[in-house]
Structure 1
């Protein structure tokens, strides 16, 4: 049986999650996770490649994006890393998916990394853009100036002026980030507008602002995730088969040598750097991103 490709909804944990679910119901599940400031359209060209190989592909809107909504007005609009990972875990439970390949970038890559680290029994393989589990205790340590300037938007979001700027100019600001982070990608206005509609979510600003303040230890997290954050503070190792995919032209997170992240991975590990590709990996290089997923699928079948 093949699932139809239309936005579906499921109550999962604290959220009413909007997601796409396509492909054969008995195919190997692949969960694709977008980042900031993107949405599920980043995987539009990745999905058919995976479907052609028999995968079942699930692509959710993260908390604060698109039609995904919090179930309660009383829930903290947290954007912290543990919340994103717990959302992924809850979604897999709600869809009765015992194990999946998890693949993402930016926020989605971090959620996938955490799931692989904390619940390896649920993860067949991992595709991410690095070992991106945040070390919040070390966040105050400065980076070299040539790296610091890339994070101007994060420091902007630390201020109330930044919150107001995101609220007032969310499309303009996010379009600028697309341009700065993917300097070799010539996206058109309809492509951006298709994704930018997801930023109209009523919780978008609160979730984004909390995310960029929490990772620097500037605001408390949701107490519900305190134990998960304690585990993440230890920078847990990842044992599942992993392929990292990074863009050589990434304007915000420059790629690193394989040896930099390798100590965090104890199983199969590859680091693929894509020439002339920026931060929005799956939308800029869908074949390469899909190939990473399919490499893990073939590894599983050996």
Structure 2
């Protein structure tokens, strides 16, 4: 299958999934794994990925479970959207492609997945870039009420907790996504063609199940996979991230997101935070691809410098 923006979409069995992914750049180049969120898709990196290829990287951009051409290998597998399983999907893809380490970067759900990889599997992450910082959560913390104005921003989470919400998302998934794009990035003047290109990825037989399960799991309204309980307990302790990291925030992000000061202490290695100006919203890699690509390159350079320092220290 071909893709106008990202070239050929490859398919490979990896863990529970047959994953659809773009694979760009030199096969022997240093690897960057780019992870998208909801309600977005791999086209969030349509402009940033070629910039990274130009810098010599091999760039992998997979469709998450429930998106695009990614499919479950078994009809009986739980359509699970909890946070840890998305990280295990990424590990399974790297393992299948025999990739030991990569720069891992993402936004929205993809940022949380990148956080988990960097926190629990730092040996697989050469460097780390996260839009909106540290997003690892727990069901215990999600059970605590927020001030009403903050709860209002999460309206769709409560909508999805109902069967009316599931039916509404099933029927109006494109309209729903367009609304989220506009509210999360109020100054982003995306056109219909840009939206439609990503919306095609929501026409996946498992999309609604994954999205609904993700948000219900967060609120303790749906069970996850019991075999992931130990990982979730580790994540609930908010493990620090030691790999070299750059966090990014748009100056016009209309989606719920933490203040940068609230997560600074959770990055224990080389770290930098950047605010991207010019009316940049939640879909930062798509709205400001040059700033995002530069962050990936700079985080990798920081990792190289850190390895050099460690090498000198051990001589």
With the shorter chain as reference, the TM-score category is: over 0.9
Match for 2:68 among 66, 69, 74?
66
1:223 is aligned to: 226
2:142 is aligned to: 139
2:167 is aligned to: 164
Pairwise mapping of residues 1-302 of structure 1 onto structure 2 (< 5 A)? 5-129=7-131, 130-254=133-257, 256-257=259-260, 259-275=261-277, 276-302=279-305
Matches of 2:176 and 2:288 in 1, distance apart? 23
Following superposition, the deviation at residue 26 of structure 1 comes to: 1.4
Matches of 2:199 and 2:44 in 1, distance apart? 12
Q: Secondary structure at the match of 1:133?
A: coil
1:99 and 1:124 in contact (8 A); partners too? yes
1:248 and 1:254 in contact (8 A); partners too? no
1:127 and 1:244 in contact (8 A); partners too? yes
Q: Secondary structure at the match of 1:273?
A: strand
Matches of 2:13 and 2:80 in 1, distance apart? 18
TM-score, with structure 1 as normaliser: 0.96
2:255 and 2:282 in contact (8 A); partners too? yes
1:154-184 Cα distance to aligned partner (Å, 9 max, x none):
1100111100000010011111111111000
2:270 and 2:302 in contact (8 A); partners too? no
Q: Mark the CA change 1:227 to 1:254 in structure 2 (over 3 Å): closer, same or farther.
A: closer
Following superposition, the deviation at residue 56 of structure 1 comes to: 0.5
TM-score, with structure 2 as normaliser: 0.92
Following superposition, the deviation at residue 255 of structure 1 comes to: 5.5
Higher alpha-carbon deviation: 267-276 or 117-126? 267-276
1:79 and 1:207 in contact (8 A); partners too? yes
Following superposition, the deviation at residue 224 of structure 1 comes to: 3.0
1:26-64 Cα distance to aligned partner (Å, 9 max, x none):
111000000000000110100111111100000000000
Higher alpha-carbon deviation: 196-205 or 245-254? 245-254
Matches of 2:236 and 2:262 in 1, distance apart? 19
Matches of 1:207 and 1:8 in 2, distance apart? 22
Aligned residues: 298
Matches of 2:257 and 2:70 in 1, distance apart? 31
Matches of 2:237 and 2:77 in 1, distance apart? 27
Higher alpha-carbon deviation: 64-73 or 264-273? 264-273
Matches of 2:227 and 2:172 in 1, distance apart? 32
Unaligned runs of 5+ in 1: none
What RMSD, in angstroms, separates the aligned Cα atoms of the two structures?
A: 1.2
2:154 and 2:256 in contact (8 A); partners too? no
2:243 and 2:303 in contact (8 A); partners too? no
1:114 and 1:133 in contact (8 A); partners too? yes
Matches of 1:207 and 1:160 in 2, distance apart? 14
Q: Secondary structure at the match of 2:20?
A: strand
Matches of 2:300 and 2:213 in 1, distance apart? 35
